Structures are given as structure tokens and as C-alpha cells.
Chain A
Amino acid sequence: AQKVTQAQTEISVVEKEDVTLDCVYETRDTTYYLFWYKQPPSGELVFLIRRNSFDEQNEISGRYSWNFQKSTSSFNFTITASQVVDSAVYFCALYGGGFKTIFGAGTRLFVKA
């Protein structure tokens, strides 16, 4: 069975702090994809990144970076110098066999000015 665990329910930081959102996954598939999505207060779901199981390179996009480690089954997301606009719910997700994308419970991030 596939599973995604986001142990942090809520995180609160002050603007300009760095914050890391944790994601741990379980799968028996050898080929799979991992994702992060953002859901701002307006409610829409916004895709942030996709990583396949054969690519463990870390990725950086502006203030966002992602650390994928197969050895620990983790795909963590770091926001550097957080801003109020980063306040949202962030979801980690996994797609393996079976054509289903499974989501974690989400981490709600509050960034205070």
C-alpha cells in the first residue's frame, strides 16, 4: 500500500525565517513520482514540483528547495526567507502504480509579519 505522512500539522514562523516541511512516503513501486502542492487561503490547488524516483538531485527554485532522499523515503520542502504570501496549506503527494495520486494530510504554514 502507498502512504504519505506529513507529521507537521501546523507550523508558525516569523517572516524571513527559513522553514522546512517534512514528507515521508511508503511505496513498493520502483518507479514513482513525488509532488508538492500549495493551497493558499483562496482554496485552489497549485502544483509546485514533481520528482521521479530515479532523480535524487535536489532542486532549487527561487526561495523554494526540495530534498529527495530515497534512503529515508523522504521528500522535504524548504522555504528560505519566508514571506507572508507563503502562508498556505502544503500537500505532499505520491504517484506509483495504479494510476492514483495519494496525498498526505497537509501542513498548514502561517507566516507572521
Chain B
Amino acid sequence: DAGITQSPRHKVTETGTPVTLRCHQTENHRYMYWYRQDPGHGLRLIHYSYGVKDTDKGEVSDGYSVSRSKTEDFLLTLESATSSQTSVYFCAIPFPTSFYANTGELFFGEGSRLTVL
């Protein structure tokens, strides 16, 4: 009953390769978010979605794209990974988990640690 599942949890890749991270929710929520966490920067919003096929950019969207073809899945893609994208990536949905409710309180997945060599 995790609510949010991220995959993969760990990935090591090489510069220039494409990478896709998946976030899957079982709460049927309208909103989904992707953040990255880096030392000294806290959590920074990459992209978010407010419905199927509806997405928008966050603070650090350059080099990332997202897609949401189903309510439950939100994909984050690095078209050509760079070493600066080495980070821990967190997916989140609003809590309490009703379809439209969003007062900013977030429930986070366990994170995906990406290393780009």
C-alpha cells in the first residue's frame, strides 16, 4: 500500500545515454511531481503534471522531459544524460489523496538514485 512506486531505485549510466524514470501511483491523484535532491540545493522541482497529458515546467527543467499518458504513471526522461544530472530523484503526489485536493502537502516516493558517469 505504498501509494507511490518509483523505478528503478538505483541506476548507473554513461554520459549521453537516455534514461527514463518511472513514477507509479495508486491514489488516482490528478497532480504528480518530479523533484531532484542535491546537497546544498534541497529539493528542486523539475516538472509537474496536473492531469493526463497536462504538464508544466518547474525550476530546473532543462535537459528533462516528462510524459503522462495515464493518471497513474508519470515518466521523467533524460534524453542525453550528463554528469550534472547525477542526483536523487523523488516523485510526489499531494496528500490527502483525493483527486482534486492540493494544499501543497506532498507524499513522496522512496527516491531513485541516478549516477551518470
User: Which residue numbers of A lie inside 8 Å of B, CB to CB?
Assistant: 6, 9, 33, 35, 43-45, 47, 50, 52, 91, 93-95, 99-106
CB of B40 within 8 A of CB of A105, answer yes
Answer whether A105 and B50 are a contact pair too, CB < 8 Å, given A35-B105, A44-B108, A45-B108. no
Evaluate contact between A50 and B40: CB separation under 8 angstroms. Answer: no
Query: Do the beta carbons of A103 and B42 come within 8 Å of each other?
Result: yes
Q: How far is the CB of A48 from chain B (nearest CB, A)?
A: 10
Asked whether B43 is an interface residue with its Cβ less than 8 Å from the other chain, the reply is yes
Within 8 A of A (CB), among B39-56: 40-45, 48, 50
Known contacts A43-B110, A43-B111, A100-B58; A50 and B104 CB within 8 A of each other: yes
B contact residues vs A (CB 8 Å cutoff): 31, 33, 35, 40-45, 48, 50, 58-59, 88, 90, 92, 95, 102-108, 110-111
Question: Which chain B residue shows the least CB distance to A46?
Answer: B108
**A99 cross-chain contacts in B, Cβ below 8 A:** 31, 48, 50, 102
Asked whether B44 lies within 8 Å of A103 as measured between CB atoms, the reply is yes
Per the bound structure, the CA–CA distance linking A2 and B98 in Å amounts to 26
Cα–Cα distance between A45 and B105 once the two chains are bound (Å): 12
With contact pairs A44-B110, A101-B104 given, residues A91 and B43 touching in the complex (Cβ less than 8 Å): yes
| A30: min CB distance to chain B, Å | 15
Least CB distance from B96 to A in Å reads 11
Residue of A6, A33, A43 touching B104 (CB-CB under 8 A): A33
Residues in A neighbouring B48, C-beta threshold 8 A? 99-100
User: What distance in Å separates the Cβ of B107 from its nearest Cβ neighbour in chain A?
Assistant: 8
**Bound complex: CA of A100 vs CA of B55, how far in Å?**
12
* Chain B nearest Cβ from A104, distance in angstroms: 5
